[in-house]
Amino acid sequence: MEFKQELETGSFKMIGSTENSLKIKEVAEKCRLVKTDNGVKVEMAYTGPNASKYIQYVEKHREDLTKFLMNPDEADLYEWMDASHQTPTTLKKHEKEKLILYVNFDPETRIIMTGIADENVTMKLGAPLMEVNIDQLNRNEFKLRIYDMLLLADEIAVSMGNVDLRKMANIQIVKTYLTEIYDKYHENP
- The tally of domains found in the chain comes to 2
- Same-domain pairing of 42 and 116: no
- Angle of helix 139-160 relative to helix 75-84, nearest 10 degrees? 70
Q: What is the DSSP string of 79-90?
A: HHHHHHT--HHH
Mind listing the pLDDT tens digit for each residue in 131-181?
A: 999 899 888 888 888 888 888 999 899 989 998 888 887 767 777 778 888
Assess whether 23 and 60 both reside in one domain.
Answer: yes
Residues 62 and 108 in one domain: no
Q: Which of 25, 54, 70 is the last residue of a domain?
A: 70
The residue among 71 and 108 whose pLDDT is bigger is 108
Q: Is residue 157 part of a domain?
A: yes
- 128 and 56 within one domain: no
Distance (Å, whole) CA 58 – CA 52: 10
Structural domain range at position 45: 2-70
Going by C-beta distance under 8 Å and a sequence separation of 6 or more, which residues neighbour residue 127? 80, 83, 84, 115
90-119 pLDDT per residue, tens: 888 888 888 888 888 888 998 989 888 887
82 falls within a domain: no
- The pLDDT of residue 17 is above 50: no
Percent of residues in the chain assigned helix, strand, coil, to nearest 5: 45, 20, 30
Residue 85 lies in a domain: no
16 and 64: one domain? yes
Position 19 scores a pLDDT of 43
Residue 102: which of 181, 34, 1 has the closest Cα? 181
Q: Is residue 167 part of a domain?
A: yes
Classified as helix, coil or strand, 2 is strand
More confident residue, 110 or 123: 110
